[in-house]
């Protein structure tokens, strides 16, 4: 039996050509694996048939949209994950779910190697290969673009000479990756960081400078997971999709940043994540209402480390799993409703309501009904500032002694 290689297959030019390219370079049979994480476009059946027409001996397709939303997007939401305080891990969280299906297909079809279409200078090669090696330690990884010298020019020439059923003449100036959590755009004229993005960069969002009428949405959360929009029950996938439409129509979720890649270079990236950013904004505000102060402070530290691990391709690492446990425990009281106005590129909080709220009107009010005992404040301040007060006294004594010695020395010199 011939060796078999599983290929992460998108249906585009590069991975379509990679099927034959890998077979010729290695002598192995290629199994194409296409995973739908909400990227839109062609049907899985169309993608599957194209893989077979391009020479794959098997084509494994998976509708992983709900899996992706439930098991990857929701933990990202609960962590309020924003790399460099801005990027909601659009591509980073799709790689581990795709890798899981690649490893499953390798086991199903008896493959010894997994291939992906990443270059040697990006983050995704790390995310794929670390995930694959963690889930399938016996599997090898190859990357045709990186390891087998498959350039775009060679891909076009190969597709035309082999009459592959794939478009080869039209070249999009951008490199685009998208899923239900958002859309990532890079390369082309965007590589000059002085250039502003043009209208054709965007697809998930409308121009926020010309918004429609304000859209007010109420999001209901249960333990950190959105369960209703405006009182209507929704699944996580449905919540993301609807807010992609509604927040996207208002131009919310556009991100233009110079990002620190894992491989050590800085890269200019454009992201669109309307649903993700609206949900994270609402979730953060509900946590402000329901998490105790020290718990909230520490969760921000944990969330940042969780985000860095996921960005760096460590979704299946022991530390990330440990942090998952902490984050999940913090969510048991993050239930309630957030009302937001979506308008002109902004998601603005208008109202908060929760049966598990730590907000106490009687303690907070300055009007009649105030239950806070203000006489306790003086003693609290005395104790709270005592250590600083003692240290300050020490500083004054030492400085005074030093100053006295300096004065004596100056008199002696005179």
What tens digit of pLDDT does each residue of 80-126 get? Answer: 999 999 999 999 999 999 999 999 999 999 999 999 999 888 999 99
Q: What is the CATH number of the domain that holds 150?
A: 3.40.50.620
Supply 304's token pair.
């940042």
DSSP 83: B
Tell me how long the chain is: 414
Which one from 43, 152, 175, 329 is the annotated catalytic residue? Answer: 175
Please confirm, yes or no, whether 48 is among the known catalytic residues: no
Annotated binding residue 122:
no
Residue 49 and residue 130 in one domain: yes
Chain centre distance of CA 209: 26
What confidence score (pLDDT) does residue 167 get?
A: 74
d(CA 90, CA 3): 34
Note whether 78 and 196 are same-domain residues.
no
Question: Is 326 domain-assigned?
Answer: no
Domain for residue 370, yes or no? no
Residue 264 among known ligand-binding residues:
no
Contact 238, 192 (CB under 8 A): no
204 annotated as ligand-binding: no
Structural domains in the chain (count): 3
pLDDT at 245 over 60: yes
- Give the residue from 136, 156, 171 where a domain finishes: 171
Q: Tell me if 296 is assigned to some domain.
A: no
**At 302, phi and psi to the nearest 5?**
-65, -45
- pLDDT, residue 54, reads 96
For residue 410, the model assigns a pLDDT of 66
Same domain? For 165 and 191 the reply is no
**Model confidence band, residue 341 (pLDDT cutoffs 50, 70, 90):** very high
41 torsion bin: left (phi>0), alpha (psi -120 to 50), beta (else):
left
User: Residue 228: which pLDDT band, with cuts at 50, 70 and 90?
Assistant: very high
Is 78 in contact with 328 (CB distance < 8 Å)? yes
Residue with the two structure tokens 């998108």: 10
User: Is 58's pLDDT higher than 70?
Assistant: yes
Q: Are residues 107 and 244 in the same domain?
A: no
Query: Which two structure tokens, joined as six digits, stand for 374?
Result: 């203000």
Residue 408 has pLDDT above 70, yes or no: no
CA atoms within 13 A on the CB side of 43: 3
In a domain, 308, yes or no: no
β-pairing verdict for 254-260 and 266-272: antiparallel
Please give the share of the chain, as a percent, with pLDDT higher than 90. Answer: 81
CB 299 within 8 A of CB 78: no
403/152 Cα distance (integer angstroms):
74
95 included as an active-site residue? yes
Residue 327: pLDDT above 80? yes
Say yes or no to pLDDT of 411 above 60: no
Q: Taking CA 389 as the corner, what is the angle to CA 386 and CA 391, rounded to the nearest 5 degrees? A: 110
Give every CB contact of residue 45 below 8 A, 6+ residues apart in sequence.
61
Provide the percentage of residues in the chain whose pLDDT is more than 70. Answer: 96
pLDDT at 227: 98
Asked whether residue 287 is assigned to any structural domain, the reply reads yes
| In a domain? residue 325 | no
183 and 223 part of one domain:
yes
* DSSP structural state of residue 358: -
Q: Are residues 155 and 137 in the same domain?
A: yes
pLDDT at 13: 87
For residue 413, the model assigns a pLDDT of 65
Is 110 labelled a binding residue? Answer: no
Please give the average per-residue pLDDT across 278-303, as a whole number. 98
Tell me, yes or no, if 124 is annotated catalytic: yes
pLDDT at residue number 308? 98
Does residue 259 have a known ligand-binding role? yes
Looking at residue 199, which CATH number applies to its domain? 3.90.1260.10
Output the average pLDDT for the chain.
Answer: 94
Is 333 labelled as part of a ligand binding site? Answer: no
pLDDT of 401: 75
Nearest to 186, CA basis, from 242, 265, 100: 265
Given strand 58-63, what is the order of strands in its sheet?
58-63, 29-36, 4-8, 113-115, 140-142
Residue 271 annotated as part of some ligand binding site: yes
CA nearest 71: which of 310, 354, 334, 318?
310
**Does some domain include residue 207?**
yes
Sheet strands side by side (includes 182-186): 175-179, 182-186, 266-272, 254-260
Mean pLDDT, rounded, for 260-279: 96
Q: What is the mean pLDDT of residues 339-349?
A: 98
| Domain end residue (candidates: 117, 148, 171) | 171
C-alpha R_g of the chain: 27
Q: What is the pTM of this model?
A: 0.92
Which of 4, 14, 36, 91 is labelled catalytic? 14
- Check 124, 246, 267, 268 and give the catalytic one: 124
Q: Which of 161-165, 238-242, 264-268 has the lowest mean pLDDT?
A: 161-165
pLDDT digits (tens, 9 = 90+) for 149-200: 888 788 889 889 998 988 765 566 688 899 999 999 998 899 999 999 999 9
- Structural domain span for residue 134: 4-171
317 burial (CB, 10 Å; 0-12 / 13-18 / 19+) is middle
| Per-residue pLDDT at 269 | 96
C-alpha distances in Å from residue 4, one per residue of 10, 105, 148, 179: 19, 11, 17, 28
Q: Which of 4, 95, 100, 183 is catalytic?
A: 95
Report pLDDT digits (tens) over 351-396: 999 999 999 988 998 988 889 989 999 999 999 999 999 999 999 9
Who's near 209: CB < 8 A, 6+ residues apart? Answer: 251, 344, 345
Together in a domain, 235 and 350: yes
In a shared domain, residues 78 and 130: yes
87 is in an annotated binding site: yes
Residue identified by tokens 């004065």 is 407
């Amino acid at each position: 039996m011939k060796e078999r290689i599983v290929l992460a297959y998108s249906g585009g030019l590069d991975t379509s050509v990679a099927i034959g390219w890998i077979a010729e370079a290695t002598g192995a049979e290629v199994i194409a694996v296409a995973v739908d994480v909400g990227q839109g476009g062609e049907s899985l059946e169309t993608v599957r048939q194209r893989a077979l027409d391009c020479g794959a001996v098997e084509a494994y397709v998976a509708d992983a949209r709900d899996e992706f939303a439930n098991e990857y997007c929701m933990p990202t939401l609960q962590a309020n994950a924003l790399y460099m305080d801005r990027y909601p891990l659009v591509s980073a969280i799709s790689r581990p779910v795709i890798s899981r299906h690649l490893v499953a297909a390798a086991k199903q079809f008896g493959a010894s190697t997994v291939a992906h279409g990443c270059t040697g200078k990006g983050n995704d090669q790390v995310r794929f290969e670390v995930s694959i090696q963690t889930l399938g330690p016996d599997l090898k990884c190859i990357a045709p673009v990186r390891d087998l010298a498959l350039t775009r020019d060679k891909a076009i020439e190969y597709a035309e000479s082999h009459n592959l059923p794939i478009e080869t003449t039209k070249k999009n100036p951008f490199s685009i990756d998208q899923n239900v959590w958002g859309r990532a755009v890079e390369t082309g004229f965007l590589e000059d960081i002085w250039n502003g993005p043009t209208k054709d960069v965007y697809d998930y969002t409308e121009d926020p400078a010309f918004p429609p009428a304000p859209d007010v949405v109420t999001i209901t959360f249960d333990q950190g997971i959105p369960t209703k929009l405006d009182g209507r029950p929704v699944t996580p996938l449905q919540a993301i999709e609807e807010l992609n439409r509604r927040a996207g129509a208002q131009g919310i979720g556009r991100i233009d940043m110079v990002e620190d890649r894992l491989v050590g270079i800085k890269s200019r990236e454009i992201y669109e994540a309307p649903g993700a950013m609206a949900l994270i904004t609402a979730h953060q505000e509900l946590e402000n209402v329901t998490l105790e102060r020290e718990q909230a402070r520490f969760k921000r530290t944990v969330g940042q480390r969780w985000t860095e691990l996921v960005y760096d391709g460590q979704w299946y690492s022991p530390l990330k799993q440990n942090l998952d446990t902490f984050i999940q425990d913090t969510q048991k009281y993050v239930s309630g409703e957030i009302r937001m106005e979506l308008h002109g590129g902004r998601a603005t909080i208008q109202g908060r309501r929760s049966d598990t709220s730590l907000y106490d009107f009687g303690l907070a009010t300055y009007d009649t009904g105030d239950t806070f005992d203000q006489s306790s404040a003086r003693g609290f301040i005395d104790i709270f500032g005592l250590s600083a007060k003692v240290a300050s006294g020490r500083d004054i004594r030492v400085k005074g002694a030093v100053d006295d010695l300096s004065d004596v020395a100056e008199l002696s010199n005179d």
